[in-house]
Amino acid sequence: MVSQILIRVDKDLKDRFQRLSRTEQKSVNEKVRELMEEYVKDHNMEAAMRSLWDEIGQSLQKKGYRASDVNKKIREVRSGR
């Protein structure tokens, strides 16, 4: 399903954006869609992974683990101990 977004921008910014879009032979709509897709792709996974690693790090610190303990624990888990 396609949906619309209405945004308000400075006229000068709009005019410059239109000109730049035309140099790529794209409409403003095409370029905005492209930029939004890139932004979501680049930031969605990155933010999720960063959040996950932060949570893991905080959890380990609360349990008294240090960064030097990580490899030791990984080996223990993999060996089934």
pLDDT value of residue 81: 65
Q: How confident is the model at residue 67 (pLDDT cuts 50, 70, 90)?
A: confident
What does the pLDDT average to over 57-63? 87
- Concatenating the DSSP letter of every residue in 29-67 gives HHHHHHHHHHHHHHHHHHHHHHHHHHHHHHHHHHTT--T
> What digits encode the pLDDT tens for the residues 5-50?
999 999 999 999 999 999 999 999 999 999 999 998 888 888 888 8
Q: Which residues of 41-71 are buried (b: 16+ CB within 10 A; e: fewer)?
A: eeeeeeeeeeeeeeeeeeeeeeeeeeeeeee
pTM (2 decimals)?
0.55
Upper half-sphere CA count for residue 47 (Cβ side, 13 Å)? 6
